[in-house]
Structure 1
């Protein structure tokens, strides 16, 4: 199988590369390296089945040729991370939306209809108080919403494009709403909480918690995320559907800090709470709970998780320690 991965040098994209190379597929990754890193895919560069292009898919001249070549496309390219989103809200809208439309348009030019998975986000659910988030929930954005919601708006537009191309051009497109994926190759540089907590714990620095810490999240190991995305791509019934992808185990950020310290053997490390204004330099609307309903994912694919949050933390902590020792 021929697999095209946009954002292929990013955190999740690089794990998709690894998954499909292990399956014996030919993989073409493209990434402009804004948040992706060559180090994430360095071990694959010598594989004759793997090709990498450093390019922006908004302007990449070979996009049409690559989509015609591909049997399957994972569209992971986007401006991501809270700090990036707040830093340049206009770029978030223009790149995330236009890149998705261009990819879908190119994918309709050939005779072959590739399987396409578009990475959406749990951010789409917005400031809801629901204890379980379902794909058919009513979504809303406050009038005059702050720029932190531009990412959610861009992903909602991506879903709308995906659904429209699936219906009008009869191409197999699935929109995957990703919930807080964690694992190796993830960096805390752009606001990701787990690698930031691990780095602080191993440096014996106070764990910095934004807000009160009672807000909850549901963390999914990247290997489970990749397995779910691959299953959705190969499931005809998932075409034209929006599907939550994540883990439905819920944990507060305060409890996450405690768990990281426990797994790292750093229970004496202190805690430091920061307001959102201090952390981000502006007011920030947080989501109090973010737990996915996985009923649809399981019904469509039979997916079951293989890795727990403890498994993810142990692997990440060991990797961080190894880097510190070098």
Structure 2
């Protein structure tokens, strides 16, 4: 094995973020084992990697143990959009909690360094703005989003308990809204929704008055943050916020997408879903300090690349319905 070359496991490796991470780790010279059950991931996302002799794929559900030998683990497995994680909320909790237990057990046995992809949803509907890592959050534990929010909060608890009890070498990143090519076309997130609706000149749906805010991080920036956090000194366990501190209202985003696509779409309002957070913006001071990291890709540049991706998909498949029905 070449100096510095590691055998790295990526759970959820065929998903939106996971596929970009696999790509980056291969480019960095590592052997990569991609694990996915294809609930929201897609073989299409990793087809271009299959000829690489340093890339392996296993179809596996992380709620069951996995017996392999690895040096590092990136635990990304979990549906991450409301449409997908609310489809089977019990399984979502199992994926977060049982999946964390199984991957932590694997890390303990192999003495691997392990990374947890947590989420800004651990902050719930925040009463502190912007959100810092010291904020404990405002989460409804019995609401329709709790399967994801509380599942991820419990996973963080498990990571830090394994760290304290077994001296496991952990990393925890709290991911804020991320977008880019390979997003699932029907994940219900605002960026993919707005782009697909705009490209088809359909009404663009916003919820409430559209004044709720989000911060949008391009996928390349986020993956750079992942790699820097995993490579940080051992005392940098996290949690560390990774996201773009630029803040936009949902209506602003819709207007930008309409402009950039040249769409004839009208913006229409629908009732606000329960527990939908009104504000979301990361304080990334810690990431700047301990990782020397901050996003580089402006929103319009990232949107341009994402629009081109979805435009290509729609041209090949005709409609989003045909696209959603295509083998994944």
> Shared fold (TM-score greater than 0.5)?
yes
Q: Is contact 1:115-1:234 (8 Å) kept?
A: no
After the TM superposition, list the runs of 4 or more consecutive aligned residues in structure 1 that deviate by more than 4 angstroms: none
In structure 2, the CA distance between the partners of 1:241 and 1:325, relative to structure 1 (3 Å rule), is: closer
Unaligned 5+ residue runs, structure 2?
A: 1-5, 317-328
SS class of match (1:43): helix
Q: Is contact 2:243-2:295 (8 Å) kept?
A: no
Q: Is contact 2:36-2:59 (8 Å) kept?
A: yes
TM-score (norm 1): 0.91
Deviations 1:67-104 (A, max 9, x none): xx322211000132101232322222222111101110
SS class of match (2:312): helix
Q: Is contact 1:174-1:238 (8 Å) kept?
A: no
In structure 2, the CA distance between the partners of 1:181 and 1:238, relative to structure 1 (3 Å rule), is: farther
Q: Is contact 1:130-1:289 (8 Å) kept?
A: no
Unaligned 5+ residue runs, structure 1?
A: 277-282
Pairs within 5 Å for 1:12-91: 12-60=17-65, 63-65=66-68, 69-91=69-91
Q: Does 1:149 align with 2:146?
A: yes
RMSD (Å), alpha carbons: 1.5
Q: Hey, what's the Cα distance between the residues in 2 that align with 1:139 and 1:287?
A: 11
User: How far 1:237 sits from its partner (Å)?
Assistant: 4.6
Q: Is contact 2:97-2:155 (8 Å) kept?
A: yes
Which residue is 1:124 aligned to? 122
Range 241-250 or range 184-193, more displaced: 184-193
Range 189-198 or range 285-294, more displaced: 189-198
SS class of match (2:58): strand
Q: Hey, what's the Cα distance between the residues in 2 that align with 1:36 and 1:320?
A: 16
User: How far 1:238 sits from its partner (Å)?
Assistant: 5.2
How many residues are matched? Answer: 311
Q: Hey, what's the Cα distance between the residues in 1 that align with 2:84 and 2:27?
A: 32
TM-score (norm 2): 0.91
SS class of match (1:80): coil
Q: Hey, what's the Cα distance between the residues in 1 that align with 2:121 and 2:196?
A: 25
